[in-house]
């Protein structure tokens, strides 16, 4: 406190700072509440999509097992090599309550049988079903991957916002209150001392005036 100059200007400055700090706390808490609401909404979506993904996974591997038993693993390996492709996803940036989060998107991944480049004689019903199931699985995997990234970013921002709120409430505001109390205490003490000096001066003048009147 000794480094603080106890002036009225500094008192007004500290009061302005603490007012801004309270406003900052209020805004940050509102932001955090909105982020938390969106965060839990995304978590619920993720659980639903994971459940759907699990069902698609089971369906896909069941279809693959049927295709293997029907056509044999060698035929499936050959068809898999012919139908292999790269999957491209685009990343856009969304702004959610001031938080920039990536939005992962991909084009439709399911193909018609003739788009896979296979010989028609190999395109049995079980093989086609297995290919459809795995492409549906892959198509559902991309959105949930993007959602998981959003959840991580939102969670990180919630933690950061909470740290800022705590810093304002537990460090900045208490420090400003102490400084305001210190400055007020010094100013009040100075005011009392000034009043005491004025009284002394007044009393002295009154005494001098009384002595002059007697003379």
**Structural domains in the chain plus CATH codes:** 8-205 (1.10.287.3240)
pLDDT tens digits along 28-50: 999 999 999 999 999 999 999 88
Q: According to the model, what pLDDT value does residue 177 have?
A: 94
Q: According to the model, what pLDDT value does residue 94 have?
A: 82
* Whether this model's pTM surpasses 0.75: no
pLDDT tens series, the chain, 215 aa: 667 788 889 999 999 999 999 999 999 999 999 999 999 999 999 999 889 889 988 988 898 888 878 767 766 666 665 556 666 777 788 888 788 888 877 777 777 766 666 666 666 778 788 888 888 888 888 888 888 888 999 999 999 999 999 999 999 999 999 999 999 999 888 888 878 788 777 777 766 666 666 55
Using CA atoms, how far apart are residues 14 and 176, in angstroms rounded to an integer? 6
Q: According to the model, what pLDDT value does residue 114 have?
A: 65
Q: According to the model, what pLDDT value does residue 163 have?
A: 96
């Amino acid at each position: 406190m000794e480094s603080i100059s106890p002036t009225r200007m500094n008192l007004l400055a500290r009061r302005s700072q603490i007012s801004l700090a309270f406003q900052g706390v209020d805004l940050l808490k509102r932001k955090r509440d909105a982020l938390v609401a969106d965060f839990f909404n995304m978590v619920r979506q993720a659980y639903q999509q994971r459940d759907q993904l699990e069902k698609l996974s089971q369906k896909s591997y069941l279809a693959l097992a049927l295709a293997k038993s029907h056509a044999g693993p060698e035929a499936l390996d050959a068809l898999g090599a012919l139908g292999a492709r790269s999957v491209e996803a685009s990343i856009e940036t969304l702004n959610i309550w001031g938080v920039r989060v990536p939005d992962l998107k991909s084009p439709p991944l399911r193909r018609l049988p003739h788009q896979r480049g296979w010989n028609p004689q190999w395109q049995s019903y079980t093989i086609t079903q297995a290919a459809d199931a795995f492409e549906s699985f892959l198509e559902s995997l991309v959105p949930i991957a993007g959602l998981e990234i959003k959840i991580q970013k939102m969670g990180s921002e919630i933690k950061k916002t909470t740290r800022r709120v705590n810093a304002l409430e537990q460090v900045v505001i208490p420090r400003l209150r102490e400084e305001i109390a210190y400055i007020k205490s010094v100013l009040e003490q100075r005011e009392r001392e000034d009043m005491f000096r004025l009284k002394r001066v007044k009393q002295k003048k009154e005494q001098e005036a009384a002595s002059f009147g007697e003379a």
